Structure formats: C-alpha cells, structure tokens
Amino acid sequence: MGEVKGRRIAFSVLAVIVVILLYFFVFAEPLSPELSAIPKWKIDIAVGPGTAFDSADSASLAFAAGDRYGYYSFDGTVAFVAEIPGGAPVSDASYLYRASAAGSAGFMLKKPDDRTIAAIDAAYPFYTSGRLFSAQNDGTGVSAYDERGRKLWTYAFPCQLSAFSAGESLVVGGTVDGWLEGISPDGGRAFSFAPGGSRLPVILGLDVSRSGNWIAAVSGIDRQRLVVLGRGGTDFRVSSHRYLESDYREPVRVIVMDDERHVLYRRPDGIGVWSVDGSVDGLLPVKADDFDAAIDEATGVAYLSARRGNKSEIVAFRLPDTLLGRISLPDNCEYIRFSGSSAFVGGRTWLARFDFVEE
C-alpha cells in the first residue's frame, strides 16, 4: 500500500518536471533585450534669445511649458525661449505671437527664426497634428489655415465640440450631443455619424489616424462605448466596437497609433489597447488622466507619456500590451515629446534628452 503511494508521488513529481521542461522548450520565447534610457543632455533655459540655428533645418523642435515656449534642436541648442501669459500656440514649423497693437485682437504667424509669415485674425488659434486651426469663440466652429496663414475654410457644427482631432486628410469634431462630423480637405462635410447605443449621447474623446482612414471615439453614457470607424470608399463605417465599464463625463484621451492598427484609450484600470478590427483587447497597467503615445518605427517600441495629477512617467512597451519599462519624471515636468527612440522632457526652466537603447 505504502509502496503504491510512494510510486504515485514519484510519478506526480516526474510529471510536474516534464510539464515544466515542456513549457520551457515548447513555449519558449526569446527574452526581449533590456531597454535602457541613456541621458544625452540636460540644459537650463531662460527667457531670451539662444543660439541661432538654421530654421530650414527640420531639426527645430517646438517647446511649450506653461507660459513659456520656444525652439531647440536635437543636440540641445536653444533658438529662443519666450514667455507670455497663457503661453503661445506653437508647432515645429511656426508659432503664433499675440499682436500687441492697440485694437488688434489677432496674432502674427511666425517662423522659428522669428520671421513673420502672416497676420492671423482669430481669437483662438491652435495647432493639431502640426496643422493650424482656429476655434469659434462659442466652441461650435473651426477654421483651417494653410502654412502661409491663409484661411482655407470654416466649418460650423450644430453645437459645442467636446472632442476634436485632425489627420492629414480628415478633420473630425465630436459634439456634446453625441455626433461625429468629418470635414474633408476642401472644408465640406465628409460624413456625419452618431455612435448611439447608450442611454445618453455624448462624444467624450476621439482621434483620427495620421492617414485619415481610421477614427476611434469614446462615446455615450450608460453604457460607454469605444467605436472605431474605417474608411470604406467615400464613407466611414463601423469597423469594431466594444462596451466599456467606465462612466466618464469628462474628456477622455483616445489615440490611434501610427501603425494604423492599434487604438489606446483611457480606462479606470489603466490604458486600454484595442485593434481597429477588434481582434485585440488588452490593457496596459498604467493609470493616467491623460497620455500621449508614439512608436519608434525602427525598433517597433512604443512610448507613452502618462500624466496623473502632477506626476508624469514615460512607459515603454511593445504593442499590443507588453510592458518593457517605465521611468518616473520630476513633478515639475510639463513637456514630453518623442522622436524615434529619443525622449525630450522639460519644464519652465530646463530641457533634457535621453535615448532609449536596447542592450
């Protein structure tokens, strides 16, 4: 009796060892190389002119933190830093300087080297995806401008916008009454769509892919939905959707990644990862009130800048949801941007760069 029992125990131990060995040999995955953040430079910045560099060089990077804005280059050369209450709209190609002339309510559109491009007569100009727009003063309309500051079109929405995004060939506004309206490059209506499916309609967040072929939106209350629309011929159709557990009644960040395949969206338990075709439903365990994301196309590593209260961190991951590492940033960090595998961070008085390297 005791011998049989001993055999059974020995057999069980052997079986466990075999299963463990099988797991390692059959389901083996190569270990991902360790990702290290290598500091490249850190500089103190102050309001005033810096070292002039050729603005035609695409290396001029826009910087904005609180009331301060300016330009610097990849190697840490500062072109200038300026300060104005409320800050200034700024992009890599141009920025807007509030005209101070008496009776003037407009802005001067300027190049990073301070050359004036044009005067812009708008109360609320802003940049999205590097494109210049202005908002109507009651939040129900948008005007688009070209790089020379010429107004291209104005579009009126039926009510106030609660979300907005622009791709290269498509601009989309989401309204407080729960509609998405797309604007084509000529300023005409590209589509109009109400996601519906919830007790109360509202658009809480949206993003348009860089190509303009995908739109992702978080909409509705009771129940909230993530809806992805894809371009189908001349129209947009629902590609995938899922109901959410959230009950947000505030702006919700949604990002269509530059791989044109994955969507990141804010969830109470982290950042959700969804694929445009609905085949991926993952979660990054990163709690954030707001975030931004970019992919290093050379390595396939994605980077996330996540903000929660006054805390910020950078999270490196592989899509869909494999976490590679995270770095906490100082409380006074107000500026984060990515370019390839480089991260640029800063505050009102400092800028720094570090590069992510796989070792």
Partner 1 sequence: MSRTIVRAGAIAIAAIALLAVSALAFEWPADAGKFRYGFGTPRDGFLRGIEFGSNDGLALAADDGEMTFSAVGASLPGGYPLPGGSLIAVAHPADMMTIYAGLRPDSVSSYLKNVRKGDILGRSSSAGASRGATFYAFDARERRFINPLILMPTLIDDKPPVIRSVSLSMEGAETRLDQSKAVRQGSYYFLIDAYDSSPAGEASSPFDLRVLIDGSERERVVYDAAWASAGKANLFGGASRGEDSYLAGDGRIRLGPYSLSRGRVVISVAVSDYASNKREQTYSITVQ
Spell out a b/e string for 16-54, using b for 16 or more CB atoms within 10 Å of the CB, else e: eeeeeeeeeeeeeeeeeeebeeeeeeeeebeeeebeebe
Task: Check residue 120 for interaction with partner 1 (CB under 8 A).
Answer: no
Query: How far apart are the C-alpha atoms of 209 and 219, rounded to whole Å?
Result: 18
- DSSP assignment of 215-282: EEEEEEESSEEEEEEEEETTEEEEEEEEEES----S---EEE-TTSSEEEEEETTEEEEEETTS--EE
Task: Check residue 206 for interaction with partner 1 (CB under 8 A).
Answer: yes
User: Which of 273, 318, 329, 312 shows the shortest CA–CA distance to 295?
Assistant: 318
Contacting range for partner 1; rule: CB under 8 A; set: 20-28, 185-193, 226-234, 347-355: 185-193
The pattern of x and - marking residues 290 through 319 that bind partner 1 according to CB under 8 A reads x-----------------------------
Quick one: which of 110, 253, 267, 353 contacts partner 1 (CB under 8 A)? 253
Quick one: which of 165, 224, 275, 312 contacts partner 1 (CB under 8 A)? 165
Amino acid, res. 280: V
Contacting range for partner 1; rule: CB under 8 A; set: 76-84, 169-177, 319-327, 329-337: 169-177
- Could you tell me the smallest distance in angstroms from the CB atom of residue 307 to partner 1? 11
- Could you tell me the smallest distance in angstroms from the CB atom of residue 261 to partner 1? 21
* CB closer to partner 1 out of 89 and 341: 89
- DSSP assignment of 79-139: EEEEE-TT---B-SS-EEEE--STT---EEEE-TTS-EEEEE--SEEEEETTEEEEE-TTS
Task: Check residue 88 for interaction with partner 1 (CB under 8 A).
Answer: no
Quick one: which of 6, 158, 268, 300 contacts partner 1 (CB under 8 A)? 158
Quick one: which of 77, 128, 169, 342 contacts partner 1 (CB under 8 A)? 128
Which residues of this chain interact with partner 1, rule CB under 8 A? 86, 123-124, 126-128, 133, 135-142, 154-166, 173, 176-179, 181, 183, 187-189, 200-202, 204-207, 221, 249-254, 290
